[in-house]
Amino acid sequence: MGFTMGLNLLLLLAMVATNILSLYHLSSTIQSKPPTPPPVPDHLIHQLSTIRATINHLTALRPHNKPSSSAASSAPSDLLLYTRFSPIASSCKDNPILLHTYMNYTPFSPCPDDSPLAEDLILRGCHPLPRRRCFSKTPPSLPPPLPTDPFSPLPEKTALLNHYTCKSKTFSCFAGLKPEMGFDMRIEKSRFLTYRTDLDLPIPQLIQLAKSANTAIRLGLDIGGGTGTFAAQMKLQNNATVVTTTMNLGAPYSEAAAVRGLVALHAPLQQRLPVFDGTMDLVRCGHAVNRWIPVTAMEFLFFDVDRVLRGGGYLLLDRFFSKKSDLDKVYAPLIGKLGYKKVKWAVANKGDASGIKNGEVYLTALLQKPLIRSTSK
């Protein structure tokens, strides 16, 4: 509050100074006899320019996303308590209305059913979210044993789906929407196993490529892995443990992965990958990693992938899509900065309406991190 008052005071002083200088210039012009007004002195132009630049700078410093007067008057008590001993992500403070709404609950009571609000905050960079002292809602019955087959039909009534828009609030409802969403296990059972085009890299072929390079894929991370089908296939085909990062975004991806016996990390793309350095044999980037991510953010993402991969580990870009011109001029050079060996590099036209309209292509690439990286430039 003190910072804002200081800015307002400086803006007021700057505006007063501007008016005084303008009146001085006007009075000197009126008093002059010649019909042609004299040129404005250089020092006066410089002063006016300096004041104008100061006003612009101070205006830019003013907070743009201010809460309403009612929200700003008092932050939720548990938010104030939490901030005494735990840090809050800076982007949380940039969205005070959403943050106050999220933290405005009754302690030691059931938590509000506000998963969409939580995801909205996370996607705005407010991550990790502040902890809350309330009881999360869970299904009223005990879950069945974990399935021996992760491709058996998703058991109903094992997750709370009330806040999703699908009419019947069931997994089968989502299975009937779009096959690519990943909820129809009859379709998912054959994914990542067959070769149809050059864009496909079946898991058996991936495993064979690793064996031929005298390496193994034991641990992996699937970024944006939806319902976890890639992780499920890697477990069945290679007994590998793959953790999936996912956001729900209107569908119960995290819940579906959990009932299949898979670990789903509720983590956004902009977060630092939540695993330690040099511990992963494989990182897969699925459909979530594409041209909609700002280039600089994508560069940080790829170098974070390099951080978690061990020497000799693999980065799999699975159907990354972009404009053809951008792939040649932007993304291929960006990927090249990693210095990885190209085991596979396949490009094909993106044949849907958006791809045809925007001249987009798919890229599937398998890249191997050097075992020893040269430090010479």
Of 337, 266, 327, 275, the C-alpha closest to 300 is 337
Percent of the chain with pLDDT over 70: 80
pLDDT at 323: 94
Q: 70: part of which helix (H) or strand (E)?
A: helix 69-73
Are the beta carbons of 190 and 200 closer than 8 angstroms? no
- Residues 326 and 218: their CA atoms lie apart, in Å, by 34
CA-wise closest residue to 229 among 246, 217, 212: 246
Give tens-digit pLDDT for 39-61: 655 555 555 555 455 444 444 44
Q: What pTM does this model have?
A: 0.77
Q: Give residue-wise pLDDT tens across range 62-117.
A: 444 454 445 445 788 888 888 887 778 888 889 999 999 999 999 999 999 999 99
**Rounded to a whole number, what is the largest CA-CA distance in the chain?**
99
Phi, psi of 202, rounded to the nearest 5 degrees:
-60, 150
Q: In what order do the strands lie in the sheet with 219-223?
A: 264-266, 241-246, 219-223, 280-285, 309-323, 360-368, 341-349
What is the overall mean pLDDT for the chain? 84
How many of the other CB atoms lie within 10 Å of CB of 154?
A: 24
Q: DSSP letters of 93-142?
A: HT-HHHHHHHH-S-TTSBPPS-HHHHHHHHHTT--SPPP--SBPP--SSP
* Residue 364, pLDDT above cutoff 60: yes
